[in-house]
Structure 1
Amino acid sequence: MSPRSASVNEELRRRSRDRLLQATVELVAEHGYDATKLADIADRAGTARGLVSYYFPSKRQLFQSAVHRLMHRTLEAALEREPRTDHGPELLARAIDAILGLAVDSPVLMRAHMAGILQAEGFVQCPEQQRLAQLLRETVVRYGSPDVDSDYPLLRALLMGAVFAVLIPGAPMPRRRLRGELFTRYGLAWELGVPPGG
């Protein structure tokens, strides 16, 4: 039997890594971050425990990569959904709605993610985080920003603040109010994106 080609090996590695990321999101959503063990993730992904450490140096980095992957896939789906558009304000509205939607729909995941970012490690620089950043930056460009290098970090900060406000235990801000503030800030019509309640 001939050895596998480099491209086949690369595809197998990508699939193994993707299975670990998906298993992490599922298990943390079901059981919380602290109760999710690396061995459980490996079992759910159908991979050897040693592969987890091969791809990710720590549980925190695995988890952040998994959530960044969920975020960039959710954002990408929102930006590319039908009807497809190049209308900058519509794309920005979709981006805002996608990120706020994750906070509302996946609070366990997003709380654990925000807590991890606020720890010493901060953002994990991984391909998933870089893809998320690329999508948000491209959205700012398509919105028509005259100063992308300033406006992109500001949008990122405003979205992180809004997510945090949605997730505060015992005193969450309503998604509708936060959406309204962000839409006003960027001059977006309420009917753009996916307005709450229809």
Structure 2
Amino acid sequence: MNEQEPRWRRRKAARPAEMIEAALDVFAEHGFAAAKLDDIARRAGVAKGSLYLYFDTKEALFRAVVDQAVVPPVSRMLAMAQAQDGPFAEVAPRLLAGAALALSQDRVAAVARMVIGEARTFPDLARIWHQEVVGPLLAAVIARIARAQAAGEVRLGDPRTHAFSLVGPLLMATLFRQVFAGVAADLPDLHEVAAQHARSLLDGLILPTAHSGVST
């Protein structure tokens, strides 16, 4: 077999991944509306026609970006949320720490900002983001909170509302970093936000133990 053939095959097989990587950068830098397929193809080192061989629309390329660049860290968070069997007071800080780690990836956070900013103009972005990222993650957190409530660990209340209370400040800090980078002098550290919010929230969310003698 020609020694060049395996390298050629690897290069051809790698092209979609290279296109997705280039699209992630361009979307993060310019947003969805301003992103040009010509720029994505140029950054990936392929002809624009080659891009269309794999992705027939910009929306299809965005879905691929979400599937390849965003879903994997979210899936790891989902697996962690579903696998944690310890007390919720120990699980919640680990969940927030995992979320902080995922959102600390600037390009992922930039894509989230892009979706929020352009969802009304491009509703397919919101649909894809909700279907692939927000929906599964929120469902897992809600289920874990409901399980903690059933075990007598967490106060009664709508588990969905509790879930928003749990993740909301971290998402706000992420957007603050994205919007005000280069403007605000002291951007929030996501890991510090996650750790402090876990302590503050759990003070009000976790039920006192039977040994504390504190009534609810």
Query: Do these two structures clear the TM 0.5 threshold for a shared fold by scoring above it?
Result: yes
Structure 1 residue runs without a partner (length 5+): 1-15, 189-198
Does the CA-based 8 Å contact 1:91-1:139 persist in structure 2?
Answer: no
Does the CA-based 8 Å contact 1:137-1:152 persist in structure 2?
Answer: no
- Structure 1 equivalent of residue 160 of structure 2: 149
- Structure 1 equivalent of residue 175 of structure 2: 164
Take 1:71 and 1:32, find their aligned partners in 2: how far apart are those partners? 16
Question: AA paired with 1:165?
Answer: F
Take 1:50 and 1:63, find their aligned partners in 2: how far apart are those partners? 13
Take 1:45 and 1:79, find their aligned partners in 2: how far apart are those partners? 34
Partner residue of 2:29 out of 29, 32, 49:
32
Inter-CA distance 154–137: structure 2 relative to 1 (3 Å threshold)? farther
Take 1:157 and 1:62, find their aligned partners in 2: how far apart are those partners? 28
Take 2:18 and 2:167, find their aligned partners in 1: how far apart are those partners? 28
Query: Does the residue aligned with 2:168 lie in a helix, a strand or coil?
Result: helix
Take 1:186 and 1:107, find their aligned partners in 2: how far apart are those partners? 26
- Structure 2 equivalent of residue 92 of structure 1: 92
Structure 1 or 2, whichever has the larger Rg, is 2
Inter-CA distance 20–71: structure 2 relative to 1 (3 Å threshold)? same
Query: Does the residue aligned with 2:126 lie in a helix, a strand or coil?
Result: coil
Question: AA paired with 1:158?
Answer: P
- Structure 1 equivalent of residue 52 of structure 2: 50
Structure 2 residue runs without a partner (length 5+): 1-14, 150-156, 204-216
Aligned residues: 165
Does the CA-based 8 Å contact 1:28-1:108 persist in structure 2?
Answer: no
Shift, 1:19, TM fit: 7.0
- Structure 1 equivalent of residue 103 of structure 2: 103
Bigger mean CA deviation after superposition, 84-93 or 175-184: 84-93
Take 2:100 and 2:200, find their aligned partners in 1: how far apart are those partners? 15
Does the CA-based 8 Å contact 1:24-1:66 persist in structure 2?
Answer: yes
Take 1:158 and 1:138, find their aligned partners in 2: how far apart are those partners? 18
Query: Does the residue aligned with 1:54 lie in a helix, a strand or coil?
Result: coil
Task: Give the fraction of aligned pairs with identical amino acids, expressed as a percent.
Answer: 16
Shift, 1:183, TM fit: 0.5
Shift, 1:91, TM fit: 4.3
Inter-CA distance 33–180: structure 2 relative to 1 (3 Å threshold)? same
Does the CA-based 8 Å contact 2:170-2:190 persist in structure 1?
Answer: no
- Structure 1 equivalent of residue 202 of structure 2: 187
- Structure 1 equivalent of residue 192 of structure 2: 177
TM norm structure 1 = 0.58
Does the CA-based 8 Å contact 2:77-2:99 persist in structure 1?
Answer: no
Question: AA paired with 1:134?
Answer: P
Does the CA-based 8 Å contact 1:20-1:41 persist in structure 2?
Answer: yes
Shift, 1:161, TM fit: 0.6
Inter-CA distance 114–147: structure 2 relative to 1 (3 Å threshold)? same
Deviations 1:155-181 (A, max 9, x none): 453332121234331431123431233
| Structure showing the higher helix proportion among its residues | 2
